[in-house]
Amino acid sequence: MAKEFRPLLIIFFSFLISSTLFDVSVTTAADDANEVLGPTDAFRALDSEDPLVVTVGKFAVDENNKQKKENIQFENVLKAASQQIGAKTEYGLLIKAAENGTSNTYAAIVLDSKDSGKELVGFRKRNLAV
């Protein structure tokens, strides 16, 4: 199942990274993803302060901490986008979080399904200025 999402994750991370490095909005990245993936598989920009987006961001940090036995402290969501894949929603997030008192930027992918709940698909530290 994870293999079918891998191309989408690679494309999304590419857009997320390039949009951050080159100060392009997530809306533009979502438009680019729409052009590549087609309208049925389009990422759409989300409000990074929306309570649902913040909840997904906190989940990503908490789940990463459980899986990797780390102690990263969630601060806020910087950018967010999502796409609907069948009955699941795939969230791509750029998260600001503190590790050992230093703020860092992390990219995360979370799948959310009414049947199986949230699943952390990817979580990586990005070398970006916060």
87 and 115 Cβ atoms separated by less than 8 Å: yes
What domains, with CATH codes, occur in the chain? 2-126 (3.10.450.10)
User: Can you give the pLDDT of all 130 residues of the chain as single tens digits?
Assistant: 455 555 555 556 555 555 544 444 444 444 444 443 344 457 899 999 999 999 999 999 999 999 999 999 999 999 999 999 889 999 999 999 999 999 999 999 999 998 999 999 999 998 765 5
Q: What is the dihedral of CA 7, 12, 14, 11, to 10 degrees?
A: 30
pTM score: 0.69
